[in-house]
Amino acid sequence: MKTVDIIQIHEILKGLSLAGLSFKAQRAILKTLRQLKPAAERYAEDMKEATEKLKPEGFEEIEKKAVAHNEALETGSEQGRLQGEELKVVVRVYADFNKRLADYATDLGDEEVEIDPEKITEDDFEKLLSANAEKIEAGKLVLIEEMLCN
């Protein structure tokens, strides 16, 4: 399973109430969470490290200028506001940095991780959905069902 899917499933499952499910289903979901956690945490740590390591030389100064520019725009002040070529440089540096970070995130997210989740019954899955309907986006239902039932 792709890391990006694992992260999404992990985030959803850890926020769900397991009340009303059979103990067997509760245990299966907790074991699944335990399997998903290392990949989700490793991804978060890797992205944090990449955010620091992929910053170009002089990024801190560019960042200060960007913050001052944004504050000037918010307050309507001219002090700190960037103009012309200087603004283009800041925008370009941020765009390049964000693209490199997004490309790396895609690489990490596409990595396959072996997961062997315990399955729950359709009845328990329906109970899980009923108890947590507001916590699960419709688009994520398929991922959760594939993980827990199929």
**What is the arithmetic mean of pLDDT over 113-122?**
94
Indicate whether 150 pLDDT > 90: no
pLDDT of residue 112: 96
Residue-wise pLDDT for 10-57, tens only, equals: 999 999 999 999 999 999 999 999 999 999 999 999 999 999 999 999
β-sheet bridge partners, residue 2: 112
Angle at 149 between CA 41 and CA 24, to 5 degrees: 80
Neighbours of 33 (CB within 10 A): 16
Query: Mean pLDDT, to the nearest integer, of 107-129?
Result: 94
Place 143 in a pLDDT band, splitting at 50, 70 and 90. confident
CA angle 31, 35, 36 (to 5 degrees): 115
Tell me which residue of 91, 96, 98 sits closest to 62, measured CA to CA.
91
Nearest Cα to Cα of residue 4 among 44, 54, 32, 49: 44
Residue 78: pLDDT band by 50, 70, 90 thresholds?
confident
| Contact yes or no for 110/3 (Cβ under 8 A) | yes
Q: Are 2 and 114 spatial neighbours (Cβ–Cβ below 8 Å)?
A: no
Q: What is the pLDDT averaged over residues 109-131?
A: 94
What is the total residue count of the chain? 150
What pTM value is reported for the model? Answer: 0.81
Do residues 143 and 5 make contact, with C-beta atoms less than 8 angstroms apart? yes
